[in-house]
Structure 1
Amino acid sequence: MKIRLIPAILSMMCVTMPAMAKSATVDANATKATKALFANLKKIATKGFMFGHQDDALYGVGWKYDAGRSDVKSVSGDYPAVFGWELGNIELGHLHSLDSVCFDTMRLRIKEVYKRGGVNTISWHVNNPLGGNAWNCNTTEAVKSVLPGGSKNALFQQWLNRLAVFLKSLKDDKGTSIPVLLRPYHEHTGAWFWWGSKQCTVQEYTALWKYTVNYLIKTKKLHNLLFIYSPASTPDAAHYFERYPGDNMVDILGVDIYHYGGEPARDKFIDEVHNTLNFMTAAAAAKNKVAVLSETGIESLPLKDWWTNVIYKAVSGNPIAYILVWRNACDKPGHFYAPYLGQASADDFILFKNKENVFFESKLPSMYK
C-alpha cells in the first residue's frame, strides 16, 4: 500500500527527489557516531520501534533527582531506549529549565544514557524574544524580529550561543561529543507558540529553521546534531510539508499527536496516528529520512489497555524508529504519560514492553557504530 502512496504524496509536495547518499545527514561533517546513529535509526525502523519517555531519568511521580531511578524501569525492569530532555530557559542563562530541572544534572544524565547505549533527543521551548515564554503567541512579529536585520537578531544570536554551549558540553568520559536529536520549533502547524502557523509566514518559519541549523553547524561548529522536523497533527502530506525547510535541513520526520478524549476517541486516535505515519514513512523512504512519533500519549493513562490496544495498534505497519510519550511530572498530580508502580496500565505496559518489535534500552543494538 505504501508503494502506491509514494507517487501521490510526492505529487502533492510538488518536489522532485534528488539522488541521495545512503546515510547522508544534514551536516556533512557530522561526527562518526552521529552518522552511525542516523544509519542505525533507519535500521531499527525495519525491525520495530524504540520506546521513549520525556525527562524519564530526572523525576517521576513522587520523586526527583534520585540517581538511577525511572518510573518506566520501576514498572518494566528496563529503561526507555529514548530519553527526551527540555532546554527551555537555557537561552536566558538560567541554571534551571522551565521545568525546574538543573541543567548540570541534565548534562550528567544525558552522559549516563549515552554510556548505556540509549538515545537522547532534545526539545527547546525557547522564550519569545519580544517578551514572555514560548506560549506567548500574541504577536506576528517575533519570528521576523530574530532573523538577520531584525530588531532582536543580536539577542537571538546570544540565545543560540548559550544553546550551543550546552550542546557542545555534551561529551563522554573520553571527551567525545555525544550525538543528540535536536527538535526545535515543533508543533508549528498549531498556533500556541510564537513560531506557530498564525504567528509567522511560511517564508519566515523556514528562514528561522535554516538560520538556526546553519548557525549551529557553521558558526558554532557543532557536529553532533541530527535535526527533527515535527509538526502537530496534520490532515495530510500537503499540510505536513507546507513549512518544510528542505531535505538539506532535516534529518528526521516527526509528528506530535496526543490522545485526547479518552475511551470515546480511541479509534479516532488510532486512525489519525496510523494515517499520518503512513504518508510520513512513505515520504521518509523517498527522501532518505527517518520517521518517528516525536510526541504522543494520553494524560493520566485512564485506559488500562492503552499500550497494547491503542498505541501499539496505531503505529503497527509503519516503519518508525521510535515513539516518545511525555513526562511524568513530580509536582503536578495527574500529569503523567508513562505508568508508575501501581498505576492501572502497568500490567499492560509490561505486555507492550515484551513485544518482540518494541525496543527498550537493554534490547538495543549498538546505535553509535
Structure 2
Amino acid sequence: MKKNILTLIISVFIGTSCTAKDIFTNTNLSLSDQKATPETVSLYKKLNQLTQKGYLFGHQDDLAYGVNWKYENGRSDVKEVTGDYPAVYGWDIAGLEKDDAKNIDGVPFDKMKQYIQEANERGGISTISWHFDNPATGKNAWDNTPNAVKTILPGGENHTKFTSWLDKAATFFLSLKDKKGKNIPILFRPYHELTGGWFWWGKGNCTPEEFKSLWKFTVEYLQKKGVHNLIYVYNTGSFSSEADFLSNYPGDNYADIISFDSYQNNNDKNGEKFITEVQNQFKILNEIAQKKHKLMALAEAGYEAVPDPKWWTGTLTKAIGDYKISYVLLWRNHGWQEKEQKMHYYAPFSGQVSEKDFVDFYNLDRTLFEKDIKKALK
C-alpha cells in the first residue's frame, strides 16, 4: 500500500493528530467560482489533500482508444499495463462549436460523456481542453492569423458567434451528471499553451489585455449560464520568469490551478533538457502558487513513442522532483499515423519498451492512480 510519507513526517514533529484535512484548512485555497457546486468545492479540497500524498497520473483520451483499438468498453492501455486506470482523464471538446458529432480526435461526444460519467463513478477526475476553430477565419485552432481574439470580445464582429459557441459548451458541461443527477466537476483548461504563438489565442496573436478580457468573459459568461461545476486551469507553454508566466494571467478570482505543458523531443534523447526545463519552471511556479494560494500541475507532458525504457522513473520522476503538484497528464495513444508514417502515443501499452518501468513508476509512493485516490483520502 502506498504511504503518506509527508503526513507521517509532519506527525512526528507536531503530533499524530495532523491530517491532510488539517493541512487543507490551514491554507487559503478557495475556488474562483463563489457559486461552485458542493461537489466541485469538495473535489478542489480533495485535490489539495492529495498533493500531500503525491501527484495524480492522467492520460488523454484514455478510455476512448489506445494503440490498435478503439471504443472497447472498460479498456485502457494504462490499465492493461498496471491493473489500474489513470486518476485523471483528459478530453477535448473541439467540434462542439460546429455541432459535430465527434471531437477533433474523432471521439463521439456521446461516448465522451459516457466515459466521463464512468470515470467519475469510480472516483476518477476529468479535465477538458478546447482546441476550437479560429472564429475569425473558420480554420482550425492552429490558424494563428492575428487579431481573432479582438473580434470575439464584446463589440467585435464575431462576438455573437462566440457566445453561441459558449452556449454549446455550457450545455455540454451541464449535461455531465452522475447517477444522482448532480453535475460532475470538471477541470476546465481553455486557451491552453497561451505563451506559444501556434494557437489563435496565443502570444503575438493578441495583446495580454485582450487575452485577459477573453478569459474573464468566458468564465463570467459560463457562470451566467449556470455552469458552476468547473475548476479553471490556467495553462502556459514554456516561460522564463514569474512575470513571463503571469503576463496574461486574468487574476486570482478567475483561475484555480496554474500549470504548464512540456514535452521531451528527439534532440534530447537522455532527457536532460526536459528535466532542467520542467524543474526550472516548477521552481518559478511553486513560488507563484504559494503566493497566490493555487494548486499547480504539469497539464500536458510526454515523450512521443517513449523510446527510453527507463523514461518514467529515470526522466519524468526526476523532472517533477519533490514539487507538490496536483497532477501530470500524458498525451494520447493515437497509434499509427498514416499521414506522418509514424507511431503517436505517450503512455505504454502491453509489450511497449517502457512497460516494466511504467509499472515501477506506478508502484512509487508518490504516483497516484485511480485506486489510490480513495485510499489516499482515508
Counterpart for residue 342 of structure 1: 351
SS at match of 2:344: coil
Shift of 1:368: 9.9
In structure 1, list runs of 5 or more residues that go unmatched.
1-19
Check 1:319–1:310 CA distance in 2 against 1; reply closer, same or farther (3 A cut): same
CA distance in 2, matches of 1:253, 1:143: 22
Q: Deviations over 1:50-83 (max 9, x none)?
A: 1000000000000000000000000111100000
1:242-261 paired onto structure 2 within 5 Å: 242-261=247-266
SS at match of 2:350: coil
Q: Deviations over 1:315-360 (max 9, x none)?
A: 0110101100000004524100000000000000000000011101
CA distance in 2, matches of 1:290, 1:240: 15
CA distance in 1, matches of 2:57, 2:234: 19
One-letter code of the match for 2:288? A
Counterpart for residue 311 of structure 1: 316
Counterpart for residue 111 of structure 1: 117
Q: 1:50 aligns with which of 33, 49, 56?
A: 56
Shift of 1:262: 5.1
1:363 to 2:369 alignment: no
Q: Deviations over 1:257-277 (max 9, x none)?
A: 111135545111101111111
1:78 to 2:94 alignment: no
Query: How many residues are matched?
Result: 348
Checking the alignment, whether the CA contact within 8 Å between 1:72 and 1:80 is kept in structure 2 is yes
CA distance in 1, matches of 2:125, 2:377: 9
1:136 to 2:143 alignment: yes
Shift of 1:198: 1.1
CA distance in 2, matches of 1:356, 1:80: 15
CA distance in 1, matches of 2:239, 2:355: 31
SS at match of 1:178: coil
CA distance in 2, matches of 1:367, 1:339: 25
SS at match of 2:227: coil
SS at match of 2:41: helix
1:173-252 paired onto structure 2 within 5 Å: 173-217=179-223, 219-252=224-257
CA distance in 2, matches of 1:195, 1:146: 11
1:273-352 paired onto structure 2 within 5 Å: 273-330=278-335, 332=337, 333-352=342-361
One-letter code of the match for 1:293? L
CA distance in 2, matches of 1:367, 1:227: 24
Check 1:367–1:351 CA distance in 2 against 1; reply closer, same or farther (3 A cut): closer
CA distance in 2, matches of 1:177, 1:288: 26
Counterpart for residue 17 of structure 1: none
SS at match of 1:334: strand
Counterpart for residue 73 of structure 2: 67
Shift of 1:126: 1.0
1:171 to 2:171 alignment: no
SS at match of 2:318: helix
Q: Following superposition, which runs of at least 4 residues in structure 1 exceed 3 angstroms of deviation? A: 262-265, 366-369
One-letter code of the match for 2:334? A
CA distance in 1, matches of 2:166, 2:84: 35
SS at match of 1:85: strand
Shift of 1:366: 7.6
TM value normalised by structure 2: 0.89
Q: Which moved more, 1:282-291 or 1:307-316?
A: 282-291
One-letter code of the match for 1:159? W
Checking the alignment, whether the CA contact within 8 Å between 1:303 and 1:345 is kept in structure 2 is yes
In structure 2, list runs of 5 or more residues that go unmatched.
1-25
CA distance in 1, matches of 2:36, 2:73: 31
Checking the alignment, whether the CA contact within 8 Å between 2:259 and 2:299 is kept in structure 1 is yes
Check 1:262–1:116 CA distance in 2 against 1; reply closer, same or farther (3 A cut): farther
Checking the alignment, whether the CA contact within 8 Å between 2:298 and 2:325 is kept in structure 1 is yes
Checking the alignment, whether the CA contact within 8 Å between 1:263 and 1:303 is kept in structure 2 is no
Checking the alignment, whether the CA contact within 8 Å between 1:146 and 1:153 is kept in structure 2 is yes
Check 1:368–1:58 CA distance in 2 against 1; reply closer, same or farther (3 A cut): farther
Counterpart for residue 274 of structure 2: 269
Checking the alignment, whether the CA contact within 8 Å between 2:49 and 2:377 is kept in structure 1 is no
SS at match of 1:309: helix
SS at match of 1:365: helix
Check 1:366–1:112 CA distance in 2 against 1; reply closer, same or farther (3 A cut): farther
Checking the alignment, whether the CA contact within 8 Å between 2:268 and 2:274 is kept in structure 1 is no
Shift of 1:279: 1.6
Check 1:21–1:260 CA distance in 2 against 1; reply closer, same or farther (3 A cut): same
CA distance in 2, matches of 1:363, 1:134: 36
Q: Deviations over 1:173-217 (max 9, x none)?
A: 111000000000011110100001111001111111001000001
One-letter code of the match for 1:157? T
Structure with greater contact order relative to length (CA < 8 Å, sep ≥ 6):
1
CA distance in 1, matches of 2:361, 2:346: 15
